[in-house]
Structure 1
Amino acid sequence: MQNTTTIFPFTSFLNFRLLVEHWEQRIREGHLPAFASYIQNYIDGAPELKQPMEDGAVFAKHKPFLDFLMSAVIPTASGDTELTVALQPFRFKSLYSTEAFDRNISFDTFEKQAHANVPGGKITLGKTIRACMMILEKYQSFGLIAKNPRPVLVTLRDPVSGLDKVYRIEINHKFCDVIAKTEYKPIEKNVIKFLMEKLYDVDLWLQYIHPEDFEFHGLFIMRLIDVTEQEMLSSIKYDLLERNAVTRTESFVQIQHKLRSLFGIPDMRLGIAYLDPNNNLVTNSQASECWNSVTCGDNVPCHDFTGSVYERSWMEKRYVTIENLEDYPFKSVIEDSLLKNGIRNILLAPLIDGEEIIGMLELATPTPAKLNPVSAHKVENVLPMFTAAVKRVKEEMSTEVRAIIQEECTAIHPAVQWKFFEAGLNLLNRRRTDEKATLEEIAFKDVYPLYGLADVRNSSIERNMAIQRDLQQNLKLAKDLLTKIYTASKLPLLEEAIFKTDEQLRKINLGLASGDESNVLDFLKSEINPMIAHFEEDENLQRPIARYRANLDPTFGVVYKRRKAFEESLGLINQAISDYLDDAETEAQKMFPHYFEKYKTDGVEFTIYLGSSLVKNRTFDLFNLRNFRLWQLLVMIEVNRKIEALKLKMKTVLEITQLILVHDQPISIRFRPDEKQFDVDGAYDIRYEIVKKRIDKAHIKNTGERLTQPGKLAIVYNQAKVEDEYKRYFHYLKAKGMITGEVEELELEELPGATGLRALRIQITSEPLSLPAVDNDNLLKDIEEGLRVH
């Protein structure tokens, strides 16, 4: 069985009968009075012109006359521009062609090389379907060819330049007749409708139209119309809808080839530079495997686009074309890089999403003036699709990088996300070739730490007392109930249980040692409560058992009143401090971007890191540092006020103590991937971390008194200039009514790994209702006022 997609199954014959009859009709109508007799005499003397020409010698004999007859359908005046050819039906062999056709099209390889817009691209398939339609058109008057709106397109690749040309084919078969060799049997209308729905199922068509029953006699007039620009633009738009169209090598090369064909420039290079204005990043083929920019070559620095033609296009938000870079008078490092890469001619078009430029489309050639302002319009129609493609990849990349950051670093503070984004992007690119690649080290040098602590006073003691009292009550209630049950039943096992309960109670009354809580709870849950449950069916004991159970927590199955009251009060304090710190820190970001972290234990501790290395394109100075130190004081005073007001809601009244550690020298911090947090970096800076972990236990030298006291704020330092600075702040705060009394100047006892520490301690105003709240809207104004106080 022959392959109907590669072999044309119908028979055709060259025959000029219909063309000759066309001329005879014109003569009869009197349109050719001067030549009529000559033409008619020639026709009458050559009856073979109206017969199938199976012998090529017949065509050769009459070729000059036939060329004249062809002028009726192929005007000689348009021969230099139109791509038109006459050919035997469905056979790609030229009988007569225009000069323009001969210059551009080679019929020797046409059928083999042409890629048609049909499934599989084989032009033979299209020929077979058209032959079937011509048969239906003649014998059933359906006019299917006219009703089929899809144009016939073929793509031809130039063997020299490698560029593609797309042509729309128009076939005039007016001079071709379909001959049925047997009696034609009409096909039902519903079958024809079904065949049109299965337009390219050639085997299905040939079940109803048998090629051996038909012949085609005559000639075709074929006209090719160059639609390369429209089709390439349409195809590029379609390609850009694909995921990763501008980052996947195969699709990028395909789009570049189509743009080359569109412009007719075989050595033109396509580039896409991705700009992220928020993070000041430009990624390209050197920095990232995802993007393909024409900008950078080997060992050429290209991260700075200042003063370049790229900056000009970006700032002006318009096309920029440089026809000859060698003559461009304002060269920057970028233009030098382009020239080193062999680029002399470049066209740039910004990719604009709303008001934001998210990338740059680059077209470059080694030949001056190939790209010019006139040719720029060719990409105008596809720019929105390039923009959408880059935006889509940008969003997908951001999502992928955030996933990497989440995997490697958990949640990252927004102030330093830019640094993690850079590292995450680099890791994403390295993992394309090395699955075991890890996140690069992330460190920030010369940052100032601000540490603050609001701790619940004697929280361990308060917690232990609450636990002790709950256990005491639970054991007493259990002993009383067991005694009632024993009185009623006199069982010896109950007497032993009463003895053990009393023994546990005497031990707890002496104090709560390590392991006592778990031992007592295990005794109550595994021995006492199951024993009590054994007597629940006794009607005389149901009421005392119910009273006992009413004192137990339904979740834990033991007395949990005082411990619960303590935990709820501690939770209120932690939540109030944490929520306020979050709000205050959000406002403080407006003063200067910084890194912030906090931890909730029995209270809340927080650290702020400040410095130029933490931000991009901003400089941190000592004025910013003093701003934040005064801000921290105001925040700590407000924390105290909020906790004082909260005491009315506490079931267990708890006090807080507060301190600030001032480290006057900048330190370096490094992200620890294993711990998912920042830590100090280097042996010298580790001293700060040691002091921070131990300072809350510090005592005043030679007194035994704890430094941290309720209602007071302690400032720990070891530099004399810090003392002078904070005394200025205290002067201001006292004038504002936020602190009272005299400033205490204290020397601290030595701590392991920390010596020579001193402290200032102030009394926060004790009347919470008279203490003015910190107004975040006026915070900067208050801070600046405080810094002016002398």
Structure 2
Amino acid sequence: MQHSTLHSNFPFRSILSLRLLIEYWERNIAQGAVPDFVKGMMDYLDTAPELRLPIEDFSIVEKHKTFINFLMTAVMPPANQDTERIAAILPFQFTSVYSTRAFDRTLDMKRIEEMVTTNFPDNHMTLGKTVKACLLILEKFYGVKMDNDKPILFTLRNPESGLDRVYKVEISHQFCDIVCNTTPTPIEKHVLKFLMEKIYDVDLWLQYIHPEDYEFHGFIEMRLIDVTEQEMLSSIKYDLLKKDAVVNEASFSAIQHKLRSLFNIPEMKLGIAYMDPSNNIILNNSSASGCWRSLAERPTDDKPCEDYTGSVYERSWIEKRYVTVENLKEYPFPSKIEESLLANGINNILLAPLIEEGETIGMLELATPTAGKLNPVSAHKVENVLPMFTAAVKRVKEEMSTEVRALIQEECTAIHSSVQWRFFEAGVKLMNLRRRDEKALMDEIVFKDVYPLFGLSDVRNSSIERSAAIQKDFQQNLKLAKDLLQKIYEQKKLPLVEEVIFKTEEQQQKINRGLASGDESNVIEFLKTEIHPLIQHFEEDAELKKHIVRYRAHLDPVFGVVYKRRKAFEEDLALINKTIGDHLDEAEVSAQEMFPHYFEKYKTDGVEFTLYVGSSLVKGRAFDTFYLKNFHLWQLVTMVEIYRKMEALKPKLKNNLDITQLMLVYDQPISIRFRADEKRFDVDGAYDIRYEIVKKRIDKAHVKTTGERLTQPGKIAVVYNQAKVEDEYRRYFHYLAGKKLITGDIEELELEELPGANGLRALRITLTDEQKEPALQKDDLLKDIEDALRLH
């Protein structure tokens, strides 16, 4: 928008005239519309003919003030002197001819420039007046009706309270006439359209409407209508649309000021309490600015009060309705919250819940130190802006969550959903600390007294199978290369080719003896640096080209060597890992329904998984041994199901691969700590480290009496060191046998001593090979588990 260079003076000449008002009275007298005694005013006018003429000397107004006041009763009834804010002023000038007492109490016309803020661009009052004058001239002399519908608003600040009142200014030009001193210059239609597009470019307007050609005679009626409530609500809504509406100090203060003006309470305080429903934590912005904090939070406290039980807040929160306490000192059974409010100098409070999709996500707080200022009737004033406050808090909640999760991602990478609440707490604290100290560190995350469960489904002899696949690929690759080199030598008889054939035979002999450490990289290096460059040298030879093409057809396009058997093994391994991993993820859903817990899995040559469960991992929920037994049986059933899925998968595999399975039952609670450097959980403390040692070594364990590997295909080994574990699992085996999932006798085994772990025992069961018996369905797995536990 282009602003005008217009000076502060209105460019058109304004002259006071009562002619149109007098003519109004004369018409009414002639029509008999007024009492007979009013006719005497005509006699007065005969003695004061100067009142019918333009009045440039205001002493005439003073001389005939009483009579002029009577004439003005046609404009404003005397009975409304104290209620309606009306003034008669010189056209487009703030010189008052007449005004009501209510108007005079509201606005001093002599100080209007300093008292009033308008909604004109840059508060340029003269600009607005000039535009309106030009529009009136267009309407009268050019027959063009161009409404400028934008209302004129005056904002007045009370110097004592500091609060604002907003008034809509209604202007009547009924008693104002425009006099043209010359013949109006024609203005083309396209120019008029262009002028309306540049409504505030007054310099442009005055090129077509010359101020010296026009005068405004008469007076203008100006009426002020209080629209403070509508405008403050509208302005607050607009403020709340801004990105940082409730967290930016300046924005928050502006909203508070407008609410104070809306309620006409200068000492009123605004607060916002925000609770993350999933975490049940009060989250107030404790940044240095101090804005957007609950009014129940004491500024001197290290953290806000989080115990809202039994408070007025809890009542409003749960019942999802306005709650007003007119006098907190008289509030029965005050909680810690009411005590905090009183300590903060608050005696009167109005709470309004902020509701998003049926859930309370925050609380709008309005409070005063004076009892009774806010009451149940006050609530309707904020009802219209509550959705905007809700949207603003929701936006902050999302942005805060994003910021906290970014911090968690930076500090901890991805975190399992079951423990996100604890990281979120630490993340919020770190976010607030970072605003004051860039080097602040996240709190250590420790969970005490949790029970670990460990399981492993490993591909049997995977290293041997992989090595065999690589060996066969290299044997084929070297044979193909040797055959090609011999064909080249037969044609070219080059000594260098014969020397490379000799080296190829040496590599063949080494690979045929077995694949030792370093052989894989040596063979690949030999193929890519000696054989392939040599072959490339003869690529354009017409006789040799077909042999070279046939050789290259056997090579993998990505790796450039024969990769057939290795690729088949890796594809089988990936399919096995995916099958096991997908089943664990599916089973994990039902396990979370039993009791929330931490779960992680790792894919190598098979899948191992660790699960931690206990009260400290969950907020506000107790854990007991019944849940632990549920998890023990769930883990066992899950591993049985993995075996059955693996048996069903075997026909799809290119290699004859089996899995072995084991479980570690550790019946004592441990502590786990999040290791920021490794971005993962680990056991905490010297005592608990034994569990981690056992977990890492048992897959290599051997049976003490026979020397065989503990883990065997078609079986599940349960490793333990407590006698009561054996009793518990024998009951579970009885249950699984009843379901025809296991067969044969239960093997009771003692394990050879492992470094750092001795005295370990194991139970081993054999799984049924038949697939006819349906596996346990996900929907009734939990029911079966609970039934099994109740039977015993």
Is TM-score (shorter-chain normalized) higher than 0.5?
yes
Matched, 1:203 2:206: no
Q: Which of 122, 137, 142 lines up with 1:135 in the alignment?
A: 137
Report how far residue 398 of structure 1 moved: 2.6
1:251 aligned residue: 251
Is the CA contact 1:698–1:707 (under 8 Å) kept in the aligned structure 2?
A: yes
Give the AA of the match of 1:476.
K
Is the CA contact 1:286–1:296 (under 8 Å) kept in the aligned structure 2?
A: no
Q: Aligned partners of 2:583, 2:452: CA distance in 1, in Å?
A: 20
1:28 aligned residue: 30
Report how far residue 310 of structure 1 moved: 1.6
Cα distance 1:290–1:769, how it changes in 2: closer, same or farther (>3 A)?
farther
1:447 aligned residue: 450
1:218 aligned residue: 218
Q: Which has the larger displacement, 716-725 or 446-455?
A: 716-725
Q: Deviations over 1:290-340 (max 9, x none)?
A: 733222113385212221112211222221111112122142111111111
1:689 aligned residue: 692
Give the AA of the match of 1:508.
I
Is the CA contact 2:4–2:202 (under 8 Å) kept in the aligned structure 1?
A: no
Aligned pair count reads: 787
Matched, 1:414 2:417: yes
Is the CA contact 1:270–1:364 (under 8 Å) kept in the aligned structure 2?
A: yes
Is the CA contact 1:446–1:668 (under 8 Å) kept in the aligned structure 2?
A: yes
2:95 aligned residue: 93
Report how far residue 407 of structure 1 moved: 3.0
Cα distance 1:58–1:487, how it changes in 2: closer, same or farther (>3 A)?
closer
Cα distance 1:544–1:130, how it changes in 2: closer, same or farther (>3 A)?
closer
Cα distance 1:26–1:260, how it changes in 2: closer, same or farther (>3 A)?
same
Is the CA contact 1:132–1:209 (under 8 Å) kept in the aligned structure 2?
A: yes
Give the AA of the match of 2:24.
H
Cα distance 1:555–1:216, how it changes in 2: closer, same or farther (>3 A)?
closer
Instruction: Please list, as runs of the form range in 1=range in 2, the aligned pairs for 1:307-706 lying within 5 A after superposition.
Output: 307-538=310-541, 540-542=543-545, 544-701=547-704, 703-706=706-709
Q: Aligned partners of 1:534, 1:87: CA distance in 2, in Å?
A: 104
Determine helix, strand or coil for the equivalent of 1:66. Answer: helix
Report how far residue 287 of structure 1 moved: 8.4
Q: Aligned partners of 1:488, 1:38: CA distance in 2, in Å?
A: 140
Matched, 1:168 2:177: no
Is the CA contact 2:267–2:368 (under 8 Å) kept in the aligned structure 1?
A: yes
Report how far residue 177 of structure 1 moved: 2.7
Q: Aligned partners of 1:538, 1:15: CA distance in 2, in Å?
A: 113
Give the AA of the match of 1:778.
D
Q: Deviations over 1:638-689 (max 9, x none)?
A: 1122222222222221222111111111112122222222111222222211
1:115 aligned residue: 117
Report how far residue 28 of structure 1 moved: 3.5
Cα distance 1:31–1:578, how it changes in 2: closer, same or farther (>3 A)?
closer
2:714 aligned residue: 711
Report how far residue 544 of structure 1 moved: 4.7
Q: Deviations over 1:117-156 (max 9, x none)?
A: 2111222221122222233333334344xx3322221111
Report how far residue 601 of structure 1 moved: 0.5
Is the CA contact 1:247–1:292 (under 8 Å) kept in the aligned structure 2?
A: no
1:73 aligned residue: 75
Q: Which of 60, 63, 66 lines up with 1:61 in the alignment?
A: 63
Is the CA contact 1:5–1:122 (under 8 Å) kept in the aligned structure 2?
A: no
Is the CA contact 1:472–1:505 (under 8 Å) kept in the aligned structure 2?
A: yes
Percent identical: 68
Give the AA of the match of 1:359.
G
2:265 aligned residue: 265
Q: Aligned partners of 2:313, 2:267: CA distance in 1, in Å?
A: 22
Q: Aligned partners of 1:489, 1:37: CA distance in 2, in Å?
A: 138
Q: Which has the larger displacement, 577-586 or 307-316?
A: 307-316
Determine helix, strand or coil for the equivalent of 1:713. Answer: strand
Q: Aligned partners of 2:618, 2:502: CA distance in 1, in Å?
A: 69
Report how far residue 431 of structure 1 moved: 3.2
Cα distance 1:290–1:171, how it changes in 2: closer, same or farther (>3 A)?
closer
Q: Deviations over 1:239-280 (max 9, x none)?
A: 222222222222222122111111111111222222322221
2:156 aligned residue: 156
Q: Aligned partners of 1:290, 1:742: CA distance in 2, in Å?
A: 70
Give the AA of the match of 1:214.
Y
Determine helix, strand or coil for the equivalent of 1:243. Answer: coil
Determine helix, strand or coil for the equivalent of 1:583. Answer: helix
Report how far residue 557 of structure 1 moved: 2.8
Give the AA of the match of 2:263.
F
Give the AA of the match of 1:72.
A
1:293 aligned residue: 294
Q: Aligned partners of 1:534, 1:32: CA distance in 2, in Å?
A: 121
Q: Which of 739, 742, 750 lines up with 1:736 in the alignment?
A: 739
Structure 1 unaligned blocks of 5 or more = none
1:49 aligned residue: 51
Q: Which of 9, 17, 20 lines up with 2:19 in the alignment?
A: 17
Determine helix, strand or coil for the equivalent of 2:716. Answer: strand
Where does structure 1 differ by over 6 angstroms across 4 or more consecutive aligned residues? 287-290
Determine helix, strand or coil for the equivalent of 2:526. Answer: helix
Cα distance 1:344–1:575, how it changes in 2: closer, same or farther (>3 A)?
same
Q: Aligned partners of 1:33, 1:397: CA distance in 2, in Å?
A: 73
Report how far residue 772 of structure 1 moved: 4.1
Report how far residue 171 of structure 1 moved: 1.8
Report how far residue 633 of structure 1 moved: 0.7
Q: Deviations over 1:326-380 (max 9, x none)?
A: 1221421111111111111111122222222222222111112211122211111
Cα distance 1:509–1:185, how it changes in 2: closer, same or farther (>3 A)?
closer
Structure 2 unaligned blocks of 5 or more = none
Q: Deviations over 1:146-176 (max 9, x none)?
A: x332222111111111111111112222222
Report how far residue 487 of structure 1 moved: 3.5
Cα distance 1:105–1:702, how it changes in 2: closer, same or farther (>3 A)?
same
2:784 aligned residue: 782
Q: Aligned partners of 1:136, 1:780: CA distance in 2, in Å?
A: 83
Q: Aligned partners of 2:197, 2:43: CA distance in 1, in Å?
A: 50
Give the AA of the match of 2:644.
R
TM-score of the pair, normalised by structure 1: 0.94
TM-score of the pair, normalised by structure 2: 0.94
Q: Aligned partners of 1:287, 1:327: CA distance in 2, in Å?
A: 33
Q: Aligned partners of 2:718, 2:418: CA distance in 1, in Å?
A: 27
Q: Deviations over 1:419-453 (max 9, x none)?
A: 22222333333333334444332222211110001
Q: Aligned partners of 2:483, 2:126: CA distance in 1, in Å?
A: 103
Matched, 1:188 2:191: no
Report how far residue 454 of structure 1 moved: 1.0
Report how far residue 22 of structure 1 moved: 2.9
Cα distance 1:34–1:780, how it changes in 2: closer, same or farther (>3 A)?
same
